[in-house]
Amino acid sequence: MSQTLYPHLDPRAPISKEMHMNSLTPNADAAVLYERRGHIGVITLNRPDNRNSMTPELLEAFSAATRAAQDDEKQGLRCVLITGKGRCFSAGADFRSNIQVADESRYTPPHERSFGMYGPFLSLRDLQVPVVAALNGHAVGGGFGLSLMADLRVANKDAKYGANFARLGLHPGMAVGWVLPRIVGVQRAAELLFTGRLFMGAEGAEIGYALEAVAADEVMNRAWQLAEQIAGNAPIAVKMMKRTFYDGLQWDPAQAAWQEAWAQAVTVDTDDAKEGMQALLDKRPPQFEGR
């Protein structure tokens, strides 16, 4: 087993045989790294010299990382944390490589080519477990879109974020136009998209884009704390909450209440629910097993 990529998080934390580090990317030079730490998986964009831009290499590596996380969901994974290495979370599209790809795939309709590029990043939203984004630095354009795929975001208060597509003569992609209004509200989303302006992380917390905005050297630790809190809860219930939450955006209140009643009936019969209620009566922390 190779040495952990995040020794500063908790180097003393035991990793059992069942919860080993996924050795998807033993090469520290890979474009995207994936590491399993107990119940938490960590995805790291690893092209700091290129501002973690979305090159074909990074797309392919990101797809492999999310597949590894999906496999780990069957082996006790309870939360995923995504971050970037260096000063940027991601600067979005690498236009030089995109021009080359467009030339090489000129017989593919442009909209199919664009959707194919977004696919690996959209798969982050398909994970059953919650995803926490540790936005270590700037997230612009496609990088901003990727950050929206997370369920919770901790921002660098001094970094820049936003969808600058209007300034480039482009329409946003990666479902930004669908997700952003649901996070910050229709009017604020319209202002951000129509003007293409960037905002600081501190403002991002004020408008609801980020859960919190902290100093650069605190981003990873705070995001890790959130991931640990999530991973410490009953995993079946949390997974069902995530599914109900996002599916419920399309429902009316009656449909939402019916779905919640079904999910509650399922979870109340789990061992975790029995443990949670007994722990409350015993005045002790619960020990959830995901059953």
| Whether 182 and 253 share a structural domain | no
User: Final residue of a domain: which of 214, 231, 248?
Assistant: 231
Among 3-7, 64-68, 73-77, the least confident range: 3-7
| Whether 218 and 270 share a structural domain | no
| Whether 239 and 213 share a structural domain | no
Does 132 fall in a domain? yes
| Whether 248 and 216 share a structural domain | no
The CATH number covering residue 206 comes to 3.90.226.10
| Whether 141 and 271 share a structural domain | no
> What is the total count of domains within the chain?
2
Among 84-98, 104-118, 186-200, 266-280, the least confident range: 104-118
Question: Which residue blocks in the chain are alpha helix, DSSP H?
Answer: 56-73, 95-104, 110-122, 142-148, 165-168, 176-184, 186-195, 201-207, 219-231, 235-247, 253-267, 271-282
Q: Please, which residues bridge with residue 161 across strands? A: 139, 199
Backbone dihedral region for residue 185 (phi beyond 0: left; psi -120 to 50: alpha; all else: beta): left
Q: Please compute the mean of the pLDDT values over residues 53-67 and round it to a whole number.
A: 92
Does 287 fall in a domain? no
User: What are the phi and psi torsion angles at 255 (to 5°)?
Assistant: -65, -40
pLDDT for res 10: 39
| Whether 216 and 76 share a structural domain | yes
Domain limits for position 275: 235-282
pLDDT single digits (tens) 2-53: 333 333 343 333 333 333 444 454 577 899 999 999 999 999 999 999 999 9
| Whether 63 and 182 share a structural domain | yes
Q: What is the C-alpha separation between 184 and 166, in angstroms, rounded?
A: 18
Mean pLDDT value across the chain: 83
Q: What is the C-alpha separation between 194 and 31, in angstroms, rounded?
A: 32
- In DSSP notation, 219-288 reads HHHHHHHHHHHHHTS-HHHHHHHHHHHHHGGGS-HHHHHHHHHHHHHHHTTSHHHHHHHHHHHHTS----
pLDDT single digits (tens) 128-155: 999 999 999 999 999 999 999 999 999 9
Q: Please compute the mean of the pLDDT values over residues 164-190 and round it to a whole number.
A: 90
Does 2 fall in a domain? no
| Whether 123 and 218 share a structural domain | yes
| Whether 210 and 263 share a structural domain | no
Does 144 fall in a domain? yes
| Whether 215 and 145 share a structural domain | yes
pLDDT single digits (tens) 202-254: 999 999 999 999 999 999 999 999 999 999 999 999 998 998 888 877 766 67
